[in-house]
Structure 1
Amino acid sequence: MDSVQKDEIALKILRELLQYRRRFPGGDTSIAEEEQRVTQVQLPRIRAFIENEQRIEFVLPAFPTKSPNTNKVIGAVPDMAERLSLIFLNSLCQRIQLYYPPGAHIVICSDGHVFGDLIRVSDEAINHYQREIEGLLHEVGATHLSVFNLGDVKGLAEHTDDYDLLRRLLVDGYAESEEAIKQQLMQDEQGLLLYRAITRFLYEDSQLPGYSGSNAALQKDAKQRACGVIQRSWAWGNLLAQHFPAAIRLSIHPQPVDSLKMGIHMMPTKDDWLTPWHGVAANVNGQFVLMKRKDAQSLDGELVEIRGTPSHYLIEQPQMA
């Protein structure tokens, strides 16, 4: 394979990813301009794998645990939203292998235990969710995917009976102070968008059935926790960069165009921040899309069960003439 062919393959792989890139809403630059800048960052990294005839390795911090808010999700275990997302990720690698024989592999770096206490989901619930994800990988035949979590980190694995200690060790070893992170977030619009999005997730996840307090109290609490979630998330990213230094870094959030990370969608959705664990799969006239549970219900969605377990919604809408 000559140099021109290697360049063409690298660009083809990048274009596969760009089709699904998450963007910050309301940006001033065009998609073409953004993709040009993303290409400047990502193409040399992809090209390095091809130059060495290596399997392309991606890391994706994702699939932490289900949101506790039943206005957003069906339940606490993976459902059709996760199933379709894993199938998509595996098929992405399969498509790459069609024209690049060494292929591609995505390491799903499950981050539920990284901030479980801050999102107020128990470590037991996170363990159960992660076991179900691993079972789902086998069930759908996702041979191009694997899972890596906090308990797999060398030097930390012996502490999996104490996740609070694991989280402290992660922060001590890989995180900046919350104050330093807050200053970074306030420096540009994209940092503010991230902070607001995480605050919104935490606020919505706190609006549980039976809550009788004020929304203002929930909002204040969410703001206080948001910076800690971002601190832990960035610490996890720093750890992954150390463990997988050459890997192409994917994300489930929109990312700046000059970042080493690229946000990708795993399912069609109108919300650039929505994820399978904060929403439900809805089959709308034969096309699966991702939305919040309350939105599926407002469209008169019918809950579908598979083997007795709630899976997704079926929505029939009038076709346009």
Structure 2
Amino acid sequence: MKSQSDGDLSDDEYDLCSSSSSLPVLRKNDKDYSTKISNDYNIDHSVDNKLSCFEKILCLYTVPLNKDDVDIESPLSIIDKQKSIIGKNFTDFYINYFQKYATPLSFEFSDFNPNLKVYKISGKHVSQFTNVSPDIDIKIIELVKEGESHVRGLIATIEDDKIGVPQFSDWFMYHLLEVSKLDYFKPSANFTSNNYHKIVADYFNTHLKNHIKNDLWEAEGQYSFIEKLKYFTERMLPIQAILPAFPCKSTNLQKVSGTEPDLGEAFALETLMEFCRDVKKKFYPPGFKIWIVSDGHVFSDCIGADDCVIDNFTSQLHDLYLKLKKQYSDEDNELMNDCIGFFGLKDVFYSEESGKLFNEDWLSGIHLKHYTGSKIEHESEICREIMMAACNTDNGRLSKQVKIENHPRLLLYRGFTKFMEEDIGQLEFISKMSRKQQKKLAAKIAFEMIKRNDAYSNLVDLCFPHYMRLSIHAHQNSGPKYGIKVVSPTKCRVIKSFSDLAYPNYDDFLHIPTPWHNVVIKNMNNGKYYFGRSNIVAQAIQSKSFIGELKDNSNSCTYYELKSRDEFEDCEFDDVFDADEILSRLKMNYLQAKVDEENDNKAVLNFLNHTNSNKINAFMNTNNIDATIRKSVDSSNTVVFDEGSASSSKTDFNNLTPYMTKLNDQELERKLENDLEELNLDSANV
């Protein structure tokens, strides 16, 4: 049985394909480029081929429950997949072929749910609709969920399963019909022609969409966006959109300040909430809802995050959303009610009655690769395995594409490799490796992440067939995915350095700055908020031009405050680096050394323990010690680093984080010792 390692590159090929002097800019003038990145495949349907569940699915639809009493002029909803044209000819297909040629098909799960029906049609009768070989038969699975007045349907080819376990494919398709958002009905009986779709599209373009060079929204994207909107506006239903995002905080502390949602996530949620509120309040009464479809468990083991960290982050994010709603007026709070939803892999596979029927033995041949040493949680791993078994479409295609010069997937692969190379180097599990080993490992992780991203995109496509597709990546906006800025630049502007507040150029498909890779920094001199990596704070503070502090707002969301330091102002920035503790330790080490020089150690220590600080200062001149230590730090040519840092050069500012708690700088230690000795403290006077 094949595992998910099939199609991987050799070590030499990883080196060759990932080699690039700089992060490539992923942009093309080709109007189809945005779809090439996620859908650059041609599924090969042949009698001897083995396919994943996703590759077999040709159509999803809903029809009225009482089909015999209704003339089926058109389905309530339909989505064609691959080259299927069943949807375009649904009446002909359903009445003249399905009802005429379909025969009941034995299906393992029909006994569990009497409302589940399965049929088979010979390929020779329907190949003109499916556009696959007449030798390949199809099956039609229909389900009526309790409380619904319509039938959910799925049409798929009957072909060998890629993992060699037919029960898994049958279970997945049954489960998909239960969890997929196919719960809407025909257009409203009270529907009258309106321009809601155009108004909402225009508002989205001006208030939420990310704009890039060579943006194709005006030329193409707006038209497919509007067509998607019509599904909701013609039914006067709340517009539903999905946003794969908010996985967890980066594990790279050069970018973030911790593992919990902070003010950046709060700003992002506010951006989404206020957009939904405005749509409902200003022009479309049914409203707009955005589903945050977390991809945290999809990639957690690739980025070095423990699965439990993903669960905690998602729970904290949901709590933050509830807190944020309370800061708005009662009217706005009502408008924002249920405007944000949360959905993840566990919600897909551990829900509905069909979820209880899953058998883990079906996936005994699936083995995912783990590179970063993160802690794997069993249910999360099962979800990843189901996703890859059901929705992976690679078949070795990616390994071929990344060997083709200038192929979009090669550019994407190199970009991911560079991105991961920077992040994983901070992980304890990987930091001990050589630079060459880290680079090679980053390439392997990038390769795995692209395959998982494709599979996850396919899964989301099946679970939310009618929903608008939003993205935190910089698409060209030709559809079906549309890039957005989750943090409004009017609220928090992106910067790369506190010495240069110009907006950086991120005209590529990897960068729309997101909260989970950045922190929020408030400039106390002008009151404005900025958005950037946490090492920006470290660089600003170590330049000795700024004072910094990590703060909490009223919702317990952390952010940094920076302000210019006057010439004679105390170095309050020490608190950010726990430097007060460092200086206190150095002072006590010095005093202890002086005590050790005396014969009467016990008497001196007793004096220190039972004498108030004023007397100590008077006798031991510790104020001068403090001043000397601070002066020594300020004038030093070195900086304070984490224990274990390889270098103490000021040129290593990019390696700084606001979490430097230990002094490991021999040059600075020696300088402090010499400066303190110059005070000529005489402990014999004690």
Give the TM-score taking structure 1 as reference length: 0.85
CA contact (8 A) 1:107 1:145 kept: yes
Q: Give distance in 2, aligned partners of 1:18 and 1:193.
A: 28
Equivalent residues in 2 for 1:222-241, closer than 5 Å: 222-241=442-461
Cα 1:241–1:209 shift into 2, 3 Å:
closer
CA contact (8 A) 1:17 1:264 kept: no
User: Per the alignment, in what secondary structure is the counterpart of residue 304 of structure 1?
Assistant: strand
Corresponding position of 2:291: 107
1:85 pairs, out of 268, 278, 285, with 268
Deviates most, 188-197 or 122-131: 188-197
The yes-or-no answer on 1:202 pairing with 2:420 is: yes
**Offset at residue 18 of structure 1 (A):** 2.4
For residue 519 of structure 2, what is the amino acid of its counterpart? V
The yes-or-no answer on 1:275 pairing with 2:514 is: yes
Corresponding position of 1:305: 552
**What is the aligned length?**
310
Equivalent residues in 2 for 1:260-299, closer than 5 Å: 260-267=480-487, 268=489, 269=494, 270=504, 271=506, 272-284=511-523, 285-299=526-540
Cα 1:245–1:305 shift into 2, 3 Å:
same
Equivalent residues in 2 for 1:114-129, closer than 5 Å: 114-129=298-313
Equivalent residues in 2 for 1:66-81, closer than 5 Å: 66-81=249-264
User: Per the alignment, in what secondary structure is the counterpart of residue 299 of structure 1?
Assistant: helix
Corresponding position of 1:54: 237
Corresponding position of 2:394: 177
Q: Larger C-alpha radius of gyration, 1 or 2?
A: 2
**Offset at residue 167 of structure 1 (A):** 0.8
Q: Give distance in 2, aligned partners of 1:308 and 1:251.
A: 27
CA contact (8 A) 2:250 2:516 kept: yes
For residue 75 of structure 1, what is the amino acid of its counterpart? G
Q: Give distance in 1, aligned partners of 2:398 and 2:211.
A: 22
User: Per the alignment, in what secondary structure is the counterpart of residue 436 of structure 2?
Assistant: helix
- Higher RCO (Cα < 8 Å, 6 or more apart): 1
**Offset at residue 17 of structure 1 (A):** 2.6
CA contact (8 A) 1:97 1:103 kept: yes
Cα 1:56–1:308 shift into 2, 3 Å:
closer
**Offset at residue 23 of structure 1 (A):** 5.0
**Offset at residue 66 of structure 1 (A):** 1.0
1:165 pairs, out of 382, 403, 421, with 382
Which one has the bigger helix percentage?
Answer: 1
CA contact (8 A) 2:252 2:426 kept: yes
Q: Give distance in 1, aligned partners of 2:477 and 2:556.
A: 40
Corresponding position of 1:10: 197
Q: Give distance in 1, aligned partners of 2:419 and 2:557.
A: 23
Q: Give distance in 2, aligned partners of 1:296 and 1:36.
A: 41
Q: Which ranges in structure 2 are unaligned for 5 or more consecutive residues?
A: 1-190, 326-335, 361-376, 495-503, 542-547, 566-686
CA contact (8 A) 1:46 1:248 kept: yes
For residue 151 of structure 1, what is the amino acid of its counterpart? K
**Offset at residue 168 of structure 1 (A):** 1.1
**Offset at residue 312 of structure 1 (A):** 1.1
